[in-house]
Amino acid sequence: MSAIAPHRPIHYGPRRHIAPIRERLSGLDFNHFEAVPQSPCLGAEIRGLDLSKPLGKEVTEDIERAFVEYKVIFFRDQEISKADHAAFARNFGELEIHPFIEQGENPEIVRFVKDENVVGVENNWHSDVSWREIPSLGSILRAYEVPSVGGDTLWTDMEAVYEGLADDLKSEIEGKIAIHDFVHTFGLALSEEQREEKRKEFPPAYHPIVRTHPRTGRKCLYVNPIFTRCIDGMDDEASDSLLKRLYQEIEVPEYQVRFQWEPNSIAFWDNRSTQHYAASDYWPQPRVMERLTIIGDRPA
């Protein structure tokens, strides 16, 4: 009887490269708030700030450092207005207007209303608007109404994902470019004529598979199952096979943090170094959120 080979190598035991990440994060100290780590790799709850009040330069710089290092930071019990939400986001850059999601009275705020009739479809790993030539720096999501149980959001540390790749796989992807596109997601709701018009405004974006964070200089994996169409210069079969191998690494739980929402909770995440997944396990209960997205830089 012949043995059945696994579809991929099975990993037993610790992901040892997480230890120095945990040690680095444990050594962080902030002057204006407490940062409580939520996992070894990424995520911290920020305590001691009221985001309805002006923060000042020194506090903002402390928040930005926590944001970059922890990659996603969480705030609880923040009873803020839409104007407060936008003012907080503008501390970190210019705000994006999403070209495919319908906006309300404030065009920079995207409102996600899920209920019995509108289901949550964000339950695949992704980095926001990676199909843009200049993608997002970060997103700030605020919870208004949450289900009694479920509706959590997960983030994965794409720097840890990259560091954990085998050396031969790192060599294989070094210098390669991936093509990102909106057509197979937001484009599905458009007519052929509308898609063609949007393609003129948002042509496919060519981004390095391995990008370097502009603030830290650390490398991360920058492909995602929703918006990455293929690898430039590879035939479809080879591209699909390589991307599948990379996507499997995104799903490793040791690289993730999971956040349980409450009303007036806020998550602020770095789209340059994380991907996220909104669990769609709460239907038909309602879930109402609002998001602001900060324009970033060209991946390099």
User: Could you read off the pLDDT of 41-73 as tens digits, one per residue?
Assistant: 999 999 999 999 999 999 999 999 999 999 999
Residue 136 has pLDDT above 50, yes or no: yes
Paired sense of beta strands 153-157 and 210-212, if any: unpaired
Residue 104 has pLDDT above 80, yes or no: no
Counting DSSP H helices and E strands in the chain, the numbers are: 7, 15
Of 15, 229, 276, 287, the catalytic one is 276
Name residue 109's amino acid. Answer: I
Mean pLDDT of 112-135: 95
Active site residue 98: no
What is the rounded distance in angstroms from the CA atom of residue 26 to the CA atom of residue 37? 8
- CA 80 to chain CA centroid, Å, is 23
Q: Helix %, strand %, coil % for the chain, to 5?
A: 25, 25, 50
CA distances (Å), 246 to each of 53, 89, 137, 206, in order? 42, 32, 22, 18
Q: Give me the percent of the chain exceeding a pLDDT of 70.
A: 96
Q: Each residue of 66-91: pLDDT tens digit? A: 999 999 999 999 999 999 999 999 99
Model confidence band, residue 11 (pLDDT cutoffs 50, 70, 90):
confident
Of 128, 157, 181, 270, the catalytic one is 128
Model confidence band, residue 105 (pLDDT cutoffs 50, 70, 90):
confident
Answer left, alpha or beta for residue 183, where phi above 0 means left and psi between -120 and 50 means alpha: alpha
Q: Each residue of 256-294: pLDDT tens digit? A: 999 999 999 999 999 999 999 999 999 999 999 999 999
CA distances (Å), 7 to each of 159, 167, 248, in order? 24, 19, 11
Strand arrangement, sheet containing 274-278: 256-259, 153-157, 274-278
- Would you state the pLDDT for residue 7? 57
Of 126, 180, 207, 229, the catalytic one is 126
- Would you state the pLDDT for residue 196? 87
Residue 6 has pLDDT above 70, yes or no: no
- Would you state the pLDDT for residue 190? 86
Residue 4 has pLDDT above 60, yes or no: no
Cβ neighbours of residue 158 closer than 8 Å, sequence gap 6 or more = 127, 220, 221, 222, 250, 273, 274, 275
Q: Each residue of 198-229: pLDDT tens digit? A: 888 999 999 999 999 999 999 999 999 999 99
Active site residue 126: yes
Tokens of 46: 């920020």
- Would you state the pLDDT for residue 8? 62
Active site residue 50: no
- Would you state the pLDDT for residue 1? 43
Q: Each residue of 147-205: pLDDT tens digit? A: 999 999 999 999 999 999 999 999 999 999 999 999 888 888 888 888 888 888 999 99
Name residue 57's amino acid. Answer: K
Residue 195 exposure: Cα atoms within 13 Å on the Cβ side: 13
Active site residue 276: yes
**The dihedral sign for the CA sequence 283, 224, 18, 75:** negative
Mean pLDDT of 79-105: 91
According to CATH, the topology of domain 18-295 is: Double-stranded beta-helix (3.60.130)
